[in-house]
Amino acid sequence: MKTRVIRLDMSVDPLPIYHEVADLLAAGQIAALPTETVYGLAADAFCESAVARVFDVKERPTFDPLICHLPDAQTIHRIADVPQPLRGLVDKLSQLFWPGPMTLVLPRKDCIPDIVTSGLPTVACRVTQHGVMRGVARVLGHPVAAPSANRFGRISPTTASAVLEELGGKIPLVVDAGACSEGVESTILQPCVDEKGKPAVRLLREGPLTREKLRGVCRVLKSRRPMTTPVAPGQLSSHYAPAKPMILCNPKMYFKPTPGVRYGLISYQGTSLLATQNCWEDLMILSPGSGRLAEAAVRLFAVMRAMDAREGVDCIVAEELPENGLGRAMMDRLRRAAATRFTSSPSPEV
């Protein structure tokens, strides 16, 4: 199959494209569409065969449920049954953070097929900031089920070319609207009541909506982990993985290279002790100079991909990032990317 790419920029009226994509989805096809976090692989959530195709193309196990993308906050009530005690909190969160990089896990309605939710009693709802995904959902008139547009367990795509690397030839269409402005996947929250019966949220996945931004809005409870059932978003150890082994390193420590192994360093600012060592075959910097977490987040997945593709590098070393704000979401992804290789293949000794 040849994958068609539609380029969208400021000079193009997007509406005819939303209609074209919505028609394609209504016909049971799938397409990769941008959001502000990462590109998603979209299907009409009410079309089971199209959703099955998404799992198939991604090689994703069907026990890992998909997020439903909606055109606006009101539409969540078509697929979710928000219990009375949580209505105030859900309204508040949606007013404050939608459209935006927040996903809410809520009790589902029966209209949503089991294949979307992996049979769970809940459904993940998201109103993205990106005009394309929202516009397509509005024109389609159905929620759009879309996981990140990568093969299962691999690095999420933040550009259309990364989507083509992952799924080129396997999907009919990619809408290219440039690089994603956030760069890491949405924050996933499950509204709940705490032990005192007060509304709170359980943080299921760290993301661009940080704990700091949630402070003062509601209590944030930790995700109950380790989870034995797949309630866990992207929480399988084999996630966000480059093909090469990857090691996470404290930037203030000295790295001891194994002779014969060629290392590439992903550094936050390029100024750490680690970055000044002369053992790097290649050095890529996420936010040169002052170090801004938002800039690092936008570049993180693209830099991981680029280092993975570098011919002269056998092993990727990534500096640990400050664990505040967006740094937590990035460290979560880096730990998973590194963990995979430690468990599944022998890494060079550190």
Question: What string marks each residue from 148 to 187 as x (binds ligand TXA by CB under 6 A) or -?
Answer: x------------------------------------xx-
Shortest spacing between CB 32 and ligand TXA, in angstroms: 9
Q: What would the 3-class secondary structure string for 65-126 be? A: CCEEECCCHHHHHHHECCCHHHHHHHHHHHHHHCCCCEEEEEEECCCCCHHHHCCCCEEEEE
Q: Kind of pairing, strands 187-193 and 102-107?
A: parallel
Q: Which stretch binds ligand TXA (CB under 6 A): 81-89, 117-125, 309-317, 331-339?
A: 117-125
Residue 140 lies near ligand TXA (rule: CB under 6 A): no
Query: Closer CB to ligand TXA, residue 117 or residue 272?
Result: 117
Shortest spacing between CB 190 and ligand TXA, in angstroms: 7
Q: Please report the DSSP string for 135-189 in residue order.
A: HHHHHH-S-EE--BSS-TTBPPPSSHHHHHHHHTTTSSEEEE--S-SS-SPPEEE
Shortest spacing between CB 266 and ligand TXA, in angstroms: 21
Query: Closer CB to ligand TXA, residue 177 or residue 317?
Result: 177
Shortest spacing between CB 42 and ligand TXA, in angstroms: 8
Distance CA 318, CA 284 (A): 10
Q: Which stretch binds ligand TXA (CB under 6 A): 170-178, 229-237, 266-274, 301-309?
A: 229-237
What lies within 8 Å, CB to CB, of 66 at 6+ separation is 45, 51, 54, 116, 117, 124, 145, 146, 147
Which positions lie near ligand TXA, rule CB under 6 A? 35, 37-38, 40, 64-67, 103, 105, 117, 120, 122-124, 126, 146-148, 185-186, 188, 204, 231, 233-234
